Amino acid sequence: MKRSANATWKGSIKEGSGVVSTQSGTLDNTQYSFKSRFESGAGTNPEELIGAAHAGCYAMAFSLMLGEAGYEPNSIDAKADVSLVEADGGFEIDAIKLTVKADIAGIDDDEFQKIANQAKEGCPISKVLNADISMDASLS
């Protein structure tokens, strides 16, 4: 399976802007710019998109692993806070914090935490990221 996305950028880094689109069409010429990345301008940014990908991937992996252990989640709410910092004359994503709240009948906290951490390690997006990934997971 392969998925794709594309980006087009026009102009200088501070005055220019770009658009991103995905194969599925969910993003279709969605605007991004210096202001949307480093200030508070309209549009998206790469870190936000990585956060969305990580949160979505994690929630699916957690649901799969819960099912394999005999639990069916009523809901899983996953949030990924992506930290972009200056480093080595440029920028890097140094950390991502997952915050997970889940409603799962019949599971105790020890089992919940064990499976939540397995999902954090097993999620394909977690595996591709070179960042410190922490997690705060709780039952609701």
The neighbour count for residue 52, using CB atoms within 10 Å, is 15
Cross-sheet strand order for the sheet of 73-87: 73-87, 90-104, 132-139
Total structural domains within the chain? 2
Residues 32, 50: one domain?
no
Cβ atoms of residues 69 and 115 within 8 Å: yes
Q: What CATH number does residue 110 fall under?
A: 3.30.300.20
Place of tokens 């989640």: 73
Would you give per-residue pLDDT tens digits along the chain (140 residues)? 999 999 999 999 999 999 999 999 999 999 999 999 999 889 999 999 999 999 999 999 999 999 999 999 999 999 999 999 999 999 999 999 999 999 999 999 999 999 999 999 999 999 999 999 999 999 99
State whether 79 and 128 are in the same domain. Answer: yes
Domain that holds residue 92: 46-139
